[in-house]
Structure 1
Amino acid sequence: MHDLETLNSGGYASTTHLKLTCPLPSGLFPSAILSLGTTLTHLDLSGTGLSSLPSNFGTSLPNLRILSNGMVSIPEGSLPTKTLRWLILTDNKIEKLPEDLGRCENLEKCMLAGNSLSSLPASVGEGWKNLALLRLSANRFESIPQWLFTNLPKLAFLSFAGNPCVEKQTGEATAKAGKRFDLEAIEWEKLELQETLGEGASGVIGKGLWKQSEEYAEEVAIKVFKGGVTSDGTPRDEMAAVLAAGFHEGLITVLGRVVGHPDEVVEGAAAAAEGEEEKKKKFQGGIVMQLIPEYYSALGLPPSFDTCSRDCFPEDASLSAAEALGMLTGIAGAAAHLHQRGIAHGDLYAHNILASKADRHALLGDFGAATIYGTDNEEVYAGMEKLEVLAFAHLLEDVLGLIRREKEKKSMETSEAESAVVVAADAAPPAFRDSAELTEEEEEAIVQGLEKLQKQCADPQVDSRPSFEDVAVELEDLVGFRGMMRIPIPNLN
């Protein structure tokens, strides 16, 4: 964290990262930032009340790669077009983006959720060839540019929930979900929160009890949605997507929706009198879900500033070919299930997957960037799925790396064991091979199959990529079985 006084006195002359959180006088950009010149690569002015950028912003800070801020306008020529890699403009009032934004040829991640945009500059359709992630949620788009699905070969993570172009689909999907699955309305007073399991921008998830009667209470997970616009979208749209997703063995089962929360937003005169900031702190909805066993853990770690749009992994993380194949098969099936319902997850990353190495099972979670795009528009329907198939290609690539780590680990263990046998050949009887293990030939066949599938899913020609249903079939053929249930879910269909 930095302060304005030190900045103005020249105290950050050689810094590469600058973050200010204090209110800026009259919302004006501090001219002292421009003196940081070629050293500054990361600038965060979120929450400072910044209203605009100076016209010489881009030329004065030529090496800036990441910009996060709050403003109402962006003048032409104000962004460093050659070096900008990560742009965050979430939750502002921007109505129009500069045309030269399309010249940001190295832009990889762009977050525009929560603005007043109704269009994108035509130039970005030709210039954003390296864009991997785009957030357009909670804006004013009446339609989504079709070139998003054809002209951007690296776009894998797209969300546009909360726009007029999908309001109808979101409402219809939510209504159908309520009728189809008869989700129970669970009174807040019947829930007992015990401990927090996680907290994100859209709310808090905790472990608790659902008291169904005086004699019986079920352990569950409870997610309470709060806050306003996040970098991915809104809590309202996330909850709608979770409910519309329905049931699948690769998704966390929703048991019901919360009603009667004491902080629930009440419409009417009282609500109208509240400011926007007060409303953001209110209860935005809640769901009760199955509690996932503790032996499930996140498959990966979120991207860093260096990896930008790709996940990170602990140095000791690894998977066997059999473990990886089982997990991937379930996730591909879950993705196919979602797209058959016109839902894009929008954030299909390893860090959003809970995995159990013990039974080779995985669950896709975190619907914060999900979009209910519907099945009426065939171009959007096909395009959204093919974009997300590229995200699955990245997952395949990451998992193949974890398999290679496992093979290296086994090779080292084998060498150490052989050395021990040479030293003390009569110390112990030889170990027997676990019958559940795969032979080297079987593992190699799986790896080759995954490598082939990864190339198909990463085809730069978006239309040439397979559907998730095709991907799931390919993986099931490698597994040798179809559709095994791991965590039982209630029969609510």
Structure 2
Amino acid sequence: MDTLAQLKTGQLAGTKRLDLSCGLTQFPREIFDLAESLEILNLSGNALCSLPEDLHRLKHLRVLFCSDNAFTALPECLGQCAQLSMIGFKANQIEHLPAAALPPLLRWLILTDNRIGQLPAELGERPHLQKLMLAGNRLEQLPASMAQCDNLELLRIASNRLTHLPQWLLRLPKLTWLAYAGNPLESAAAVVDEDTTPEIAWSQLTLGDVLGEGASGIIRQAQLSAADGTSKAVAVKLYKGSITSDGSPLHEMQACIAAGRHTQLIRVEGRIVDHPEQQAALVMQLIDPSYRNLAGLPSLASCTRDVYPADMRLSATAALRMARGIASVAAHLHRHGITHGDLYGHNILWNESGDCLLGDFGAASFHATADTPQTRALQRIEVRAFGILLGELLERTDSGLSAEHRGQLAALRDRCCQPQVLARPGFEAIIQALSDIP
């Protein structure tokens, strides 16, 4: 993190990235001294409510983060920034989103956890828009102009006030990762019988080390004691109550329970009752340490694509085993009326043998189990995510994969990613296609 003193004394001259979080109530004019170099500006965690009208003087500015501030409207000056493509104003108090605030090269817009009730029609006139994060607002509908957003791949509209998903949304040719839980449109399908989930008393658990922490909660190792005096090692996920970029952590917990049992899912042992602070929590299977994340999160440059180690190579056996496993668990979820919403390599744990587990249900949503055009479209949107994953596996598979089988997998990838949503195969057909490759 940079300091205001460094900025004012010229120590940051020539920097391409500036991070300032120091209780700012006004935009420091010294930032303009960096106009010839600054590309990424992070002013999150301050007390700002406005930006200067001449912000466009930062002529190389590509990325602007102003999350956790006090803005009530997205500043119109953003629209004059010719190179600005990524904007993040999460967790402000934004109610108004003026069309003038949308820069021409807008690619990635984060407005999670605000008070926005309406989007401008001009949003659909930003052809580069690829990632749009609007969870935790007050939206009742999406502008019809967004039917023109042919490059939109990731959309987060969970925890709003939407009563339906428009037909044009389900036809977008590149939409791949969609989260819409916590809207009235989902309530009819989101029926989870938590009474069938075993209850585990908080007093039965002895917490150990923190295994990981994300936006939705903290995972800790623990010992679960049984009535007969025995115990076993488990993991405990303690859910937070705040809105994440994907949606509500409590909806994530509901989806984990509803997903049931599958070889490629992390097993839910039960839900915790009698937590001293009434915190929602699940007891889950403890994952063997041989498992690791398949990929890293998307970067600012990759936007919607995972980042893999440059030297990563997979054996043909492991790659095929993972592809089959993920196709199988996705089919299982769809039969249960669940779309994962975040089918990505970074949410897959794997080992060298190709054993894999699909985790992180933060973007999961419920849909009807009946075979309807809307259900098929929602499922085929997720099929595109599998197609992208299959392509990433294929790119990293070593020479042990024959040219014939590589061609078959490439053809399957292309079928999964074709622009006509309903023309994509379902996961049952994908499983069959993968089983034809020895």
* TM-score normalised to structure 2 length: 0.90
Q: 2:285 aligns with which of 290, 300, 303?
A: 290
Give the alignment partner of residue 332 of structure 2, picking from 337, 348, 367.
Answer: 337
SS at match of 1:158: strand
CA contact (8 A) 1:37 1:62 kept: no
Specify the code of the residue in structure 2 equivalent to 1:90. T
Letter in 2 for 1:367: F
The one-character-per-residue Cα deviations of 1:395-419 (angstroms, maximum 9, x if unpaired) are: 011001111xx33xxxxxxxxxxxx
Counterpart of 1:116 in structure 2 is: 138
Secondary structure, counterpart of 1:146 in structure 2: coil
1:53-102 Cα deviation digits (max 9, x unpaired): 3434312x11101101132111122211x311100000000000111000
Distance in 2, Cα, partners of 1:236 & 1:168: 17
CA contact (8 A) 1:185 1:258 kept: yes
Counterpart position of 2:111? 89
Deviation at residue 255 of structure 1 after TM alignment? 1.0
Deviation at 1:380, TM superposition (A): 2.2
Kept in 2: contact 1:321–1:446 (CA 8 A): no
**2:118 aligned with 1:101, yes or no?**
no
Q: How many angstroms does 1:377 deviate by?
A: 7.2
1:395 is matched with: 389
Taking every aligned residue pair, what percent have the same amino acid on both sides?
40
* Counterparts of 1:327 and 1:156, CA distance in 2: 20
Amino acid at match of 1:109: K
Alignment correspondent of 1:21? 44
The reply to whether residue 473 of structure 1 matches residue 418 of structure 2 is no
Among 250, 269, 279, which residue is 2:264 paired with? Answer: 250
How much is the aligned-residue C-alpha RMSD, in angstroms?
A: 1.7
Q: Which is richer in helix?
A: 1
Question: Where does the alignment leave 5 or more consecutive residues of structure 2 unmatched?
Answer: 1-18
SS of the counterpart of 1:100?
helix
Query: Greater CA radius of gyration, 1 or 2?
Result: 1
In the alignment, which residue of structure 2 is the partner of 1:138? 159
Q: For the residues of structure 1 that align with 2:374 and 2:364, how far apart are their CA atoms?
A: 15
What is the alpha-carbon distance in structure 2 between the residues aligned to residue 330 and residue 377 of structure 1? 23
Whole-angstrom CA distance in 1 between matches of 2:147 and 2:248: 26
Q: Which residue of 1 aligns with 2:409?
A: 450
CA distance in 2, matches of 1:186, 1:6: 51
Contact 2:201 2:274 in 1 (8 A): yes
**Equivalent residue, structure 2, for 1:74:** 97
Q: 1:357 to 1:443 in 2, by over 3 A?
A: farther
Residue pair 1:321, 1:447 contacting (<8 A) in 2 also? no
Kindly indicate whether residue 187 of structure 2 is the aligned counterpart of residue 163 of structure 1.
Answer: no
Aligned 1:50-69 pairs, distance under 5 A? 50-59=71-80, 61-69=81-89
Displacement after TM superposition at 1:185 (Å): 0.0
Q: Counterpart of 2:97 in structure 1: which amino acid? A: I
Match of 1:308 among 303, 310, 315: 303
Taking structure 1 as reference, are residues 54 and 183 closer, same or farther at Cα in structure 2, changes over 3 Å only?
closer
Q: What is the CA–CA distance in structure 1 between the aligned matches of 2:197 and 2:257, rounded to whole Å?
A: 8
Contact 1:19 1:44 in 2 (8 A): yes
| Cα drift, residue 330 of structure 1 | 0.7
Deviation of 1:218 (Å):
1.0
1:100-132 per-position Cα deviation (integer Å, ceiling 9, x unaligned) = 000110011000000000111111112x10011
Separation in 2, partners of 1:52, 1:62:
20
Cα-to-partner distance string for 1:292-324 (whole Å, 9 max, x where unaligned): 111111111110010000111012211011110
Q: Distance in 2 between matches of 1:443 and 1:132?
A: 32
Matched residue, 1:379: 373
Q: How many residues align?
A: 412
Which 5+ residue runs of structure 1 have no aligned equivalent?
265-282, 408-439, 480-493
Q: In structure 2, what is the equivalent of residue 364 of structure 1?
A: 358
Q: Which runs of at least 4 in structure 1 moved beyond 6 Å after TM superposition?
A: none
CA contact (8 A) 1:54 1:78 kept: yes
Tell me the alpha carbon deviations over residues 173-193 of structure 1, each in whole angstroms, 9 at most, x when there is no partner. Answer: x12xx46xx321000110111
Aligned equivalent of 2:60: 39
